[in-house]
Amino acid sequence: MRRVVFNQKGGVGKSTIACNLAAISAARGRRTLLVDLDPQANASRYLLGPALDTQKKTLAHFFDDILAYKLFPDKPDAYLVTTRFPNLSVLPSDPRLEDLQIKLESRYKMYKLREALDSLKTFDEIFIDTPPALNFFTRSALIAADTCLIPFDCDDFSRRALVTLMDSVREIQADHNRALRVEGIVVNHYQARANLPVRLVEELRSEGLPVLDAFLSASIKIRESHAQALPMIHLDPRHKLSREFEALYALLAA
């Protein structure tokens, strides 16, 4: 199963959701890969910590090799990095991805990620983190994925952006990946006692949008999780947010 976590709006929790779901998958004994297509490399930093700085091969090197038309290119598994968490590996990002984007798009290399992931037969689950834009890398991810998770931050700006986002996904479905399925909208930073989040979720459901029943609460604990490069189930498995991530994973795996 390949899941892309996608939203064109920044700050909605894409990297956090992708990494925590990947960590739970790995903790349950499933061979799991996190693919980080965001040049900011937040997901890579989250799972690798300081070890990210010592990596000699990243996704930037992978795409470099594609552009160079190497006669004997490295296989995709040459770019994998094993994390300190059992069963969890990363295809790490690199700020140089930003510079490669125009070249990759002009040479129409959007299917290369799917080809690479097709060759990685050893993983049970693959989670793909994306930048906050509809660009070459997000299109590549949507083409490569089986399903799409859409994080939704509980504010009106995120609500308005959903219309454009759903149109973008439908375009990819029609032109490049008919098998792609929207698995659901993940409500993030939810506050059950606040009127606005409750109203926004009700509006989404009334419009027939696939809002998942497992909500993620707002919590300062997630910043500690980022700072220590420890997904929530490893930082504090009894925390409310850890249980919510596990409930979300269970819902997806059902």
The Cα-based distances of 203 to 44, 101, 197, 248 in angstroms read 34, 37, 10, 21
Q: List, for residues 170-228, the tens digit of each pLDDT value.
A: 999 999 999 999 999 999 998 877 888 889 999 999 999 999 999 999 999 999 999 99
* pLDDT on residue 73: 63
Split into its structural domains, the chain has a count of 1
Residue type, 70: K
The Cα-based distances of 24 to 48, 53, 173 in angstroms read 16, 25, 28
Q: How much of the chain, in percent, has pLDDT values that exceed 90?
A: 81
pTM over 0.85: yes
Q: What is the mean pLDDT of the chain?
A: 94
Give pLDDT < 70 ranges for the chain.
71-73
Q: Are 191 and 197 in contact (CB under 8 A)?
A: yes
End-to-end Cα distance, the chain: 13
Strands 88-91 and 81-82: antiparallel
Q: Are 129 and 36 in contact (CB under 8 A)?
A: yes
- CATH number of the CATH domain containing 103: 3.40.50.300
Range of the domain at 6: 2-253
